Amino acid sequence: MSKKGNLIIISGPSGTGKGTVCKKLLMKNKNVFYSISATTRNPRPNEKNGREYWFTSKSDFEKMIKENKLLEWANVYGNYYGTPLDKINDLRIKGIDVLLEIDTQGALSVMRKISHGVFIFLLPPSLKELKRRICGRGTETKAVIERRFGAAVGEIELGKRYDYIVINRNINHAVEQINAIITAEHCKTNNNLKILDRVKNEEI
Ligand code: ADP
Ligand code: 5GP
């Protein structure tokens, strides 16, 4: 039987590069499944329902909360975002790693619920560069940019609660580091106790 897949949580302030890094990681590592979140925010011009997000009405989102269909949810910069529970366990039992790209409130809520997640904080190289990236993306209004950037210092403060900090200066380097973390987590003693026993008890 294959080992259970890990739950990998990547978070960090808006504009640090989570989406960009996750897309590259998924191309590199085919054993990772990206959990598509539900959100009440409007799609950006290049976004498709069921690819970046499940775009949902406020009432449908609140129904999912009531029916306990979300692993976690948060109100992020004025909109609801949440991780649907369905699929996550089935995939992990099949040995597939599940990747959540969520905000820091969501990550803290998963930390409270699950002790065995792999929590990775994606840090921008500087606040100046973070601002350049949020503005450069060109998808938000000035007011939304200010709101997101205004939350960044508080979110960075939470980085110390994570298992790993990866600096996203160079995209390829950050992706390599995250992939190395994923590989190392598979070699953790706790994830290999069954195989250890099997080899030890093998009849020869
Ligand atoms: P997030 O998902 O964290 O909000 P995005 O992935 O949308 O961030 O990235 C924000 C902007 O920063 C995008 O325009 C993206 O192309 C750019 N970006 C991401 N990573 C880097 C990097 N390492 N160097 C330069 N620009 C980057
Ligand atoms: P954006 O609107 O830029 O796509 O995302 C805004 C923020 O919401 C980002 O920090 C993103 O990681 C976070 N986010 C996306 N999906 C989820 C989710 O399912 N749960 C939580 N808590 N945050 C999410």
User: Quick one: average pLDDT of 165-193?
Assistant: 96
Domain membership of residue 125 (yes or no) is yes
| Residue 57, pLDDT score | 97
Domain membership of residue 50 (yes or no) is yes
Q: Specify the CATH number for the domain of residue 143.
A: 3.40.50.300
Q: Using CA atoms, how far apart are residues 175 and 88, in angstroms rounded to an integer?
A: 22
Q: Which of 18, 20, 127 to mutate to test the pocket of ligand 1 (most atoms within 8 A of CB)?
A: 20
| Residue 38, pLDDT score | 97
Evaluate if residue 105 carries a pLDDT over 60: yes
Domain membership of residue 2 (yes or no) is no
pLDDT digits (tens, 9 = 90+) for 143-158: 989 999 999 999 999 9
| Residue 140, pLDDT score | 82
Structural domains counted in the chain: 1
Domain ranges, residue 146: 7-200
Evaluate if residue 138 carries a pLDDT over 90: no
When pLDDT is cut at 50, 70 and 90, the band that residue 98 belongs to is: very high
pLDDT digits (tens, 9 = 90+) for 45-74: 889 999 999 999 999 999 999 999 999 999
| Residue 137, pLDDT score | 81
Q: How far is the CA of 4 from the centre of ligand 2 (A)?
A: 26
133 lines ligand 1 (CB under 6 A): yes
Domain membership of residue 62 (yes or no) is yes
Domain membership of residue 34 (yes or no) is yes
Domain membership of residue 98 (yes or no) is yes
What is the position in ligand 1's atom list of the atom closest to the CA of 174? Answer: 23
Length of the chain as a residue count: 204
User: Quick one: average pLDDT of 32-53?
Assistant: 95
20 lines ligand 1 (CB under 6 A): yes
| Residue 157, pLDDT score | 97
What is the position in ligand 2's atom list of the atom closest to the CA of 70? Answer: 19
Burial class of residue 71 in the structure, from the number of CB atoms within 10 Å of its CB (0-12 exposed, 13-18 middle, 19+ buried): buried
Domain membership of residue 1 (yes or no) is no
What is the position in ligand 1's atom list of the atom closest to the CA of 14? Answer: 4
Evaluate if residue 23 carries a pLDDT over 60: yes
| Residue 139, pLDDT score | 79
When pLDDT is cut at 50, 70 and 90, the band that residue 2 belongs to is: low
Q: What is the mean pLDDT of the chain?
A: 95
User: Quick one: average pLDDT of 8-31?
Assistant: 96
- Of all protein residues, the one whose alpha carbon is nearest to atom 14 of ligand 2 is 102
